[in-house]
Chain A
Amino acid sequence: MVEALKEIFSAYEGEKGAVIPILQKVQAKLGFLSPEAIGDIASFLDTSSNEIFGVATFYSQFRFTRPGRHTVHVCLGTACHVKGGGTILETVEKEIGVEAGGTTGDYKFSLERVACFGSCALAPVVVIDKDVFGRVTTSKIKETLKNYD
């Protein structure tokens, strides 16, 4: 059992349906859902690891690999898509060398695509960690990425 999870589980004793909140708390604690953590969640909830995996993969909020130090979210919602979000994503992919959903080998960046941030007026939008970058261009985003280490 991953020690850090005991505390999370203790709040859900007897609540066998609390899969999603548990997954969320575990991810918040560990940064991602490791196979071991899923195993522990499954045994806590009396089900198979695979069933937890099946549930978790349905939601885009869960990740199964260790994230990078910074997460780059590229928006591909309707407005951003129209304003060239796709090209921005391609640029970021080339720049950091991983595809959406991946993490760089040095664990510096994780790259995610999102459907909409609700900041359509600023399209196309990129969010790195908690910083929002609006009306980005391919050259701007390349420069922005350089500011992270």
Chain B
Amino acid sequence: MDGKEIKAAPGDTVLKASKKAGIYIPTLCADKELEPYGGCRLCVVEIEGVRGQPTACTTPVAEGMKVLTQTPAVEKIRRTAIELIMSDHPADCLICVKNQRCDLQSAAAYLGINQYKFKRTSRAVNPDTSNPFFVRDLNKCILCAKCVRVCDEIRGVGAIDVAFRGFGSVIAAFGNQPIISSNCISCGSCVSKCPVGALYLKNEKRPDTEIVTVCTYCGVGCGLSIGVRGGQIARVLPDPNSEVNKGHLCVKGHFGVTEFVHHSERLTSPLIRVGNNFIKSTWNEALELVAMKLGKYKGPEVGVISSSKATNEENYLAQKFARVALNTNNVDQCARLCATPTLEALTAAFGCGAMTNPIGDISGAGCVLALGTNTTVSHPVLAMEIWRGVRRGSKFIVVNPKETELARWASLWLQNRPGSDAALLMGIAKVIVGEGLEDKEFIKGKCENYEAFKTSLNEYDLDFVENVSGISKEKITQAARIYGTVKPASIIYGSGITQHIYARDNVEAAANLAMLTGNVGKPSSGVNPLFGQNNVQGACDMGALPDMLPGYQNINKDEAREIFDAAWECQLEGTPGLTVTEMMKEAGEKKLKAMYIIGENPVISEPDSQHVIEALKKLEFLVVQDLFLTDTARLAHVVLPAASFAEKDGTFTNTERRVQLVRKVIEPVGDSHPDWWILCQLARRMETKGFEFANPSQIMEEIAGLIGEYAGISHSRLGSGGIQWPCPDKEHKGTPILHENGFIRGKGRFTPVEYREPREKPDAEYPLILTTERNRYHYQTGTMTRRVTGMDMLKHEEYLSISKTDAERAGIAGGEVVKVVSRRGELKVKAKISDDTPEGIVAMSFHFPGTPTNVLTDSFTEPSMRTPELKLTAVKVVKL
């Protein structure tokens, strides 16, 4: 290149090779993660033996190729290309948000353009301001189509495309309508890619400083680069260096942080109940009161609900506080509703209850089997990884009763009946064994209990499975042949299979399937749960569980307790405590008298919410620690104002076991304090030793000393990037793939799975099945996202998705308010006729406290399973 010998990898383009060699070639449309496009014609070069001037971005390198990047002919084409772009590009750089960050400015400067050569024209279209978060000013568009390509190639959405032709060409949403009316998911990836000022964030101001931290929403754990100006969050951008999100975010992470953090309804001082009112108090007064009151109730009378939103350090302190200061094992968090079946089943099968493989290797799988996950909605950034695989041609099998976006990506979609997942998976296993597709060597060498499992398959005659699941024998066989033969195969799953009364069966069946085909301990394989909250994994690792000490040490094992007794200078109780659901029951029976709830909103999130409210009202003393006065906090005797994730240091562990540093971006709002500080203060006032921490980094040191998987982790190490546990020592680089050198528990254990009918069944009175789901624009109980104006605009209220057939049967029209009644409660909600929802099923989210879906669900749990049924509730829909 230019007479210099350079090396490039096969498949590299000339442009990529030039970058590696440090030779600059101007371009406006090339991007390292997008496919070559050749649109802007700036990167033209001359290649010996090639006619004309090819574009460097679309020409692959070849051995001995001679490239000239700066010749008079090349120069002339580049100048003309940019002069043509400039002829209809507005020259209002001073009022452009991209001024000084604009690729067009840089390219023009590089080429030394100092005058307009062509007659100036303009487009004069009104900017499209319909999206609440960004503006599309097509006057400035240079038609590089980066936005179109990122939307299609990376996000799998395809909301925009180049439409019309010639000078009339525009980047348009369907029908050239405003973007808001399209299927745009408002992720903002197009804005990040725009090289000029055609796409820009609303209300963006240039920050004074930028601080990298981790998103507080789902379990993916995207890196955020938060810009701060004058002590306030000025903007949130994706961290381009994060290995997790690689410069992308979803709508919640990108646009859903600033407003809730700085919301006027944030609690700014402690509140103490006096009669029916709250009065503001000082921290000293509130802490003294809580310490004094909680101190009265020890052991079985008191319970702590920690939070999978809080940091590892805070969860560690919360369970330590419960166990040492309150002398109780009644400590749990919302992982109970989605993650504990995974912990139990995968620990029993493999020896570790976590995602076996990293997010980044899903796209490398030959086959991906997705169970009960609406990934594009609940984990949008992780869905990009699936889409990458689908585009590469991996076989994608989706099991979901609803026609999700994933179902549309799938090579095979199994639309099963709710509650039939385990049966379906066992049916698939039966075909694999029947056709001899199992990995005999893997099973023999690395697994145990195979014969018992094989015997249990006898129950799953395909006629029976077809009957239970509603999936034809042919499709079951097809799925088995794909999953059984295409290697490596990865199973991913979400709360669709874990929010069930017999959820553990589903996870066991998935683990069986992975072992059966030898898909554990290898890249792009495994069994991969996608956790819903930012720190579900960490909260469980930290032992915020009634039966487990930190590091999943069984509380009923003497050896385990002895270690912690010594470390914490206490005498731990050996009987496992109560789960969240059980605590609510005992509170209702007045056996549990006091509760300390940190950052959770069980009134809205727990099943059978009417009973939760009644139970909480019966408590003699309730402390709630939160950012806002939630429906749960309203019932409290003392409310403590907590700092948000942006106002504290600590760590979150994402769904792929990656421990990442959360950094304090701004000072706590008002007089709020981080959860860890509050816990330390309370413990000291209760004269409990072992809470003398000055900062979260010291807490992590204690954690590292007690949890083997975290032994090598410290805040200073995490400063340069996250580490996937197990990380046994200070030099260890972390473990992206589990079980690579054999199963952690020794041998992988097959589990026979017996078919169990769901407890909740539709009947003549309640003929429909209600399943709870997530919405893209809101999160959990809506405490944060409902306070973001733009999210409220994109999704303003709850609705009941119902099929056309069921709506006609009930005599209701779309948009009509209907009554939904279950065996436990009823509510009113607007109906929405949806093609995505099959006959016999209706769906609602639970993000809107005004429509508390969980008044309908059942809190009953099997003693051996301890998770409630949230995905299957028999209901009737009544016309009003």
Contact = CB atoms under 8 A, between A and B. Distances in A.
A55 B172 CA distance: 11
Contacts of B161: 48, 50-51, 53-55
Question: What 9 A-B pairs are tightest by C-beta distance, nearest first?
Answer: A54-B161, A48-B158, A57-B163, A50-B174, A54-B163, A57-B164, A58-B165, A50-B161, A49-B174
Contacts of A105: none
Contact of A53 (B165, B172, B408): B172
Nearest to B157: A48
B198 to A, nearest CB: 17
Nearest to A35: B175
B172 to A, nearest CB: 7
Given A35-B174, A64-B175, A50 B182 contact: yes
A48 B182 CA distance: 10
Interface in B148-173: 152, 157-165, 172-173
Nearest to B409: A46
Interface of A: 35, 38, 43, 46-51, 53-55, 57-58, 64
Given A48-B152, A48-B183, A58-B165, A53 B174 contact: yes
Interface of B: 152, 157-165, 172-176, 182-183, 408
Nearest to B171: A54
A38 B174 CA distance: 10
Contacts of A64: 175
Contacts of B159: 48, 50
Contacts of B176: 53, 57
Contacts, number: 47
Nearest to A49: B174
B780 to A, nearest CB: 29
A48, A50, A51, A54: residue with the most chain B Cβ atoms closer than 10 Å:
A50
Contacts of A58: 163-165
B460 to A, nearest CB: 32
A46 B158 CA distance: 11
Contacts of A54: 161-163, 172
B152 A51 contact: yes
A58 to B, nearest CB: 5
Contacts of B160: 50
Contacts of A49: 174, 183
Contact of A51 (B158, B164, B165, B175): B158
A57 B165 contact: yes
A50 B156 CA distance: 12
A2 to B, nearest CB: 14
10 contacts: A35-B175, A43-B408, A48-B161, A50-B158, A53-B176, A54-B162, A54-B163, A57-B164, A57-B172, A58-B164
A51 B165 CA distance: 14
Contacts of B173: 50
A50 B145 CA distance: 14
B152, B157, B159, B174: residue with the most chain A Cβ atoms closer than 10 Å:
B174
B165 to A, nearest CB: 5
Nearest to A39: B174
A38, A47, A51: residue with the most chain B Cβ atoms closer than 10 Å:
A51
A50 B175 CA distance: 8
A68 to B, nearest CB: 20
Nearest to A38: B174
Nearest to A60: B165
B152 A53 contact: no
A109 B618 CA distance: 75
A75 B157 CA distance: 40
Contacts of B172: 50, 53-54, 57
B502 to A, nearest CB: 35
A48 B165 CA distance: 19
Given A53-B161, A54-B172, 12 more contacts: A35-B174, A38-B174, A46-B408, A48-B174, A48-B183, A50-B160, A50-B161, A50-B174, A53-B175, A57-B163, A57-B165, A58-B165
A116 to B, nearest CB: 17
B409 to A, nearest CB: 9
B667 to A, nearest CB: 44
B569 to A, nearest CB: 62
A55 B163 CA distance: 7
Contacts of A51: 152, 158, 161
B258 to A, nearest CB: 30
A105 to B, nearest CB: 20
A51 B163 CA distance: 9
Nearest to A64: B175
A64 B172 CA distance: 15
A62 to B, nearest CB: 11
A48 B408 CA distance: 11
A127 B163 CA distance: 28
A50 to B, nearest CB: 4
